[in-house]
Chains A and B, each alone.
Chain A
Amino acid sequence: MSSALVKNSLSWVIGGPQGSGVDSAANIFSRACAQGGLHLFGKREYYSNIKGDHSYFTVRVAENPVNSHLDEINILVTFDAETVFRHAHKVAKGGAIIYDSSLVNISINEVPTIDDQSSIRISDILNTAGYPTTIQGILDFAKSNGCVVYGLPYFEMIEDLARGLNDPSLSKLTRMVNVIALSSSLALLKFDKKQLIKAIQTVFQTKPKVLGNNIAAAEYAYSYIGKKYDIAQFIYMLEPRPPLKEYLLVQGNQASAMGKIIGGCRFQTYYPITPASDDSEFLEANQIFDLTSGAKGSIVVVQTEDEIAAITMAISAALTGVRSATATSGPGFSLMAEALGWAGMNEVPVVITLYQRTGPSTGLPTRHEQSDLLFAIHAGHGEFPRIVFASGDIEEAFYDSIKVFNLAEKYQLPVIHMLDKALANSIKTCKKFDQHKVPIERGDLISKVDENLSTRSGGHYLRFRLSDNPVSTRVPLGTENAIFWNTGDEHTEEGHITEDPDLRNKMVSKRMNKLEKALSEIPIEDKLVCFEFGKSTGDITVVSWGSTKGAIIEAMEMLARRGKGIRFIQLRLLHPFPSYEMMNLLKNTRLLIDIEMNYTSQLASLIKQHTGSDIDYRIVKFNGRPMSTSEVYYAVSAILEGTSQKRIVLEHGT
């Protein structure tokens, strides 16, 4: 059955019950590949559950940078029955399934954590193909699809390993089944064992007690696989390449948090919520950091009683001149709406990092969606200026975390930085972040006011001076000669309540004019990025925003290889909307395709609203699982071939 060897191009999946070491196995695998000079993109999928429910991790490995996942699986690594049932039928021809050989007689009904819908779906597939609904049945089905299956007697392997180690503590070793499983997969891939050991050493750096056993388990798996199988028969292999110099292996939420430290954020509040908490927890764990001067800086992270407290505390910290943020997800952001308006009214620069997840209500709490775009633009009553800015990948998340503070301070308004679950929980190899690439710009902020400035206006400092329209000089609370007031009511230049119609007109206009100013000053690359593929003339244009970027770019590259010319516009500044630039770019567009992770094509309605352009095709997805390159490719192909409906709902994902 051997065909041509597939080197360094692989989609690897490991799954298991939540809490059983899936993440750490994926972490070791990713490290090993990356340290071996290979690029990767990994994503984590998990239930809203702490222990027991199915979670899995997909890692795509390649010789060049990758930014998305594929539907096909080339190696499925399992140590429980559920993972086999859920994923085995997705393993592509020539791929492998590693499983626990003691589980073959288990029937799908015996796995309590498989929900009825999934059970019926999988059983239907097997029944139709004429296989029993057992592990053996699904493995036979996979074999009929051209997969190779590797049954490993994990328990016996562990017993054997224990004998070799003279360590009778089997229970401790049982917990290492994840390492045995992942090491077996690397052995099949003919991957350099030294790189694996090095990765284990890095991952268990802080746990020297278990390090030795984990290395022994890896060694054992390599020799076991080597003895039992002819690994040359397996067509996939990973071969180390020259080291990736100046590269990181980094997750989205880490990138955002690190950007905040560099960007000068010194106060962050949060109320726990998936997938936003990781951002705050990373900051908390790294609250003291180095300064270039050799001294130390710090960030105060406050866990509040709710999200209303989180945003209001962040706003008032900003009033003291501090760069301040809060990180949340949909349910929390909903609670912040009223305070957002207060920040707009009082011209307070505050950053809200909005990690979108599946809504409405608690939706699918740990799954992905991009359905808060219009809400972010409109949240809050009344009219006030804000900026809504979306990052498309992990690198952007880092640099944009700095930029959003610049925008907030330059225009003295709240900025909503849109990220999402897919970005937060994915990991990839990317160029080491340049700490000095984005300079800090604090806008019109002064910390000293001379007596004359304040007496100039009859002894009062005019925080909302109309002649500065739209952005007035800001001073932190506590500054001498600069006493001012804030109120959510309409106010005078000093900040006292007024209901004067003329002043009201002027103040509303002053605030709203900031949007025009921002549009005229923000550089184009922060508004949108235009990618051209093949011989693009712009007549076929794909538009999207946020984390769909990776899947779209790769799908477009695949289409370009088939001779197609396509333009892809990634919107970054969503509000105020860069209408002028978009209208220019869409001038010659004959076919406009919108792609996004929501039901209503929210970006499409913005484009129509601001440019007048109609969207010809809409590709949407709302099942909670991020778009794969494969499905974007097939959907766009169908459109180009004229065989597609006007609205395509993508449905892939487990």
Chain B
Amino acid sequence: MALKLAEYKTTVHNDWCAGCGDFGILNAIQMALHEMQIPRHRAVIFSGIGCSGKTPHFINTYGVHTLHGRVLPFAQGAKLANPDLEIIALGGDGDGLGIGAGHFVGAGRKNVDIPYILFNNAVYGLTKGQASPTLKLGMKTKSLSQPNSNSSVNPISLALVAGYTFIARSYSYDVRHLRDVIIKAIQHKGLAYVDVLQPCPTYNDINTREWFQGQDNIDQESGHQVPRIYKIEDRGYDGVVHNTNELGNKMAQVLDIANEWGSKIPIGIFYQNEFVPTYHERISQHISDYATNPPAKQPLCTTEGVPLADISKLLSALRIDN
């Protein structure tokens, strides 16, 4: 019997601010799980710390709300121990690109088969609006006393150079688009990065919903407001690496488009490259039965507790009476 969308929701009280972009992301994740009919017990949502970090408590699957900045190593550990789990990692921009930046890069080098959804609101929501690593230099959001004195990091370019094999961006108020991107990220074979533009109405009074809709972005000729966000696929952009010869060009076009900001902000799938072996495939190179006999599936002892491992050979090599 098919699972209903409601079954992916918990009844836990949601304490996000009214109008927070996080609601859209939560809905999109639930819709993706529902659309894919992923059995609830097989899914585990890992999160970091922040407003975004609370997300797993609202999703009726296994949920692991970890430490500030550490969601990626947590998520990878579980996936490597039990590849059968459907794991989604998610967290804030401070979480993933500030305190967790080392893991952001480290994960790119491993290419473990998981999607990572980053709630990009350019502020530290839960600690009351400090500048996050994606806030542009010189911007002064509501709760900053001085303009931001750090340059922003571009997560799309960083993901590319770090080795992510799927890179996409979506917008939290375009729930359908976001749902579809998340589905593709889950289906992708390898580490997938999904950057979600997430208005924080409470602390980010610059990149607001109205701003993204282009309230102040007036076309000179027509006098109409022009939404800032546009879908790259609508303009014929194809981010998929179809053969390894086109790798250089495909990477270059990501860096190009990743720089667009201001009056035009691209969303869609920037890059997908399934030619890079996943970490599971890399492990299988030296542990050939890893896929069928990963750590989580290995029995350790008999019912009486007698260990099943037999290190006689290792011990013989160390023996001195042979």
Contacts and interface: CB of A to CB of B under 8 A. Distances in A.
B305 A339 contact: no
A247 B319 contact: yes
Interface in A25-55: 31, 34-35
A432 B316 CA distance: 9
Interface of A: 31, 34-35, 243-250, 254, 258, 261-264, 266-267, 269, 286-293, 296-300, 302, 304-306, 308-310, 312-317, 319-324, 338-339, 342, 402, 429, 432-433, 435-436, 439-442, 476-489, 495-497
A401 to B, nearest CB: 12
B73 A304 contact: yes
Contacts of B287: 287-288, 298, 300
Contacts of A286: 314
A312 B70 contact: yes
A439 B81 contact: no
A308 B70 contact: yes
A584 to B, nearest CB: 30
B311 A319 contact: no
A489 B63 CA distance: 13
Given A300-B283, A312-B67, A245 B296 contact: no
B298 A298 contact: yes
Which 8 pairs of residues, A with B, have the shortest CB-CB distance?
Answer: A305-B106, A313-B77, A264-B300, A439-B305, A316-B77, A317-B81, A309-B73, A487-B65
Contacts of A298: 287, 289-290, 293, 295, 298
25 contacts: A248-B319, A264-B308, A267-B81, A287-B286, A288-B287, A290-B313, A292-B310, A299-B295, A300-B80, A312-B74, A315-B74, A317-B77, A319-B64, A320-B85, A322-B81, A324-B295, A439-B305, A439-B307, A440-B306, A442-B300, A480-B41, A485-B56, A485-B63, A486-B63, A497-B57
Nearest to B46: A316
B80 A478 contact: no
B311 A290 contact: yes
A289 B309 contact: yes
Contact of B77 (A263, A269, A496): A269
Given A287-B287, A316-B74, A485-B64, A478 B308 contact: no
A320 B298 CA distance: 12
Interface of B: 10, 12, 39-42, 44, 46, 49, 54, 56-57, 60-67, 70, 72-78, 80-82, 84-85, 102-103, 105-106, 109, 283, 286-287, 289-290, 293-296, 298, 300-301, 304-315, 318-321
B75 to A, nearest CB: 7
Contacts of B67: 312, 338-339, 342, 488
A480 B78 CA distance: 17
Contacts of A290: 309-313
A243 B321 contact: yes
Contact of A342 (B60, B66, B304, B312): B66
Given A319-B64, A339-B70, A486-B65, 9 more contacts: A34-B320, A243-B321, A264-B300, A310-B73, A313-B74, A324-B295, A435-B311, A478-B82, A486-B64
Contact of B65 (A319, A432, A488): A488
B315 A304 contact: no
Contacts of A300: 80-81, 283, 287, 290, 294-295
Of listed A264, A299, A320, A436, residue having the most chain B CB within 10 A: A320
Contact of B296 (A308, A402, A476, A481): A476
Contacts of A299: 295
Contacts of A250: 318
B321 A483 contact: no
A34 B293 CA distance: 39
A322 B41 contact: no
Contacts of A338: 67
A22 B319 CA distance: 22
Given A440-B307, A488-B67, A296 B289 contact: yes
A298 B320 CA distance: 27
B308 A248 contact: no
A262 B311 contact: yes
Given A246-B321, A478-B44, A487 B57 contact: yes
B103 A305 contact: yes
Contacts of B63: 485-486, 495
A486 B61 CA distance: 12
A558 B146 CA distance: 72
B321 A316 contact: no
Contacts of B109: 305
Contacts of B306: 292, 436, 439-440
Contacts of A292: 306, 308-310
Contacts of A289: 309-311, 313-314
A321 B77 contact: no
B125 to A, nearest CB: 16
A263 B307 contact: yes
Contacts of A247: 319-321
B106 A309 contact: yes
A348 B102 CA distance: 24
B80 A496 contact: no
Contacts of B320: 31, 34-35, 243-244, 247-249, 429
Contacts of B65: 485-489, 497
Contacts of B41: 478-483
B295 A320 contact: yes
Contacts of B309: 261-262, 264, 289-292, 297, 435
A317 B76 CA distance: 9
Contacts of A477: 44, 62, 64, 78, 82, 85
Nearest to A309: B73
Contacts of B74: 312-313, 315-316
Given A248-B319, A439-B305, A477-B82, A258 B311 contact: yes
A287 B60 CA distance: 36
B175 to A, nearest CB: 24
A297 B289 CA distance: 9
Contacts of B312: 290, 435
A496 B106 CA distance: 30
B45 to A, nearest CB: 9
Given A315-B77, A320-B82, A261 B311 contact: yes
A339 B321 CA distance: 45
Of listed B105, B289, B308, residue having the most chain A CB within 10 A: B308
Contacts of B318: 248-250, 254
B306 to A, nearest CB: 6
A481 B39 CA distance: 11
Contact of B304 (A244, A262, A439): A439
Contacts of A249: 318-320
Contacts of A244: 320-321
Of listed A243, A288, A317, A435, residue having the most chain B CB within 10 A: A317
Contact of A266 (B40, B57, B295): B295
Contacts of A35: 320-321
B300 A440 contact: yes
Contacts of A309: 70, 72-73, 102-103, 106
A248 B77 CA distance: 35
B41 to A, nearest CB: 5
A436 B294 CA distance: 24
Of listed A261, A287, A402, A486, residue having the most chain B CB within 10 A: A486
A439 B300 contact: no
Nearest to B15: A497
Contacts of A342: 66-67
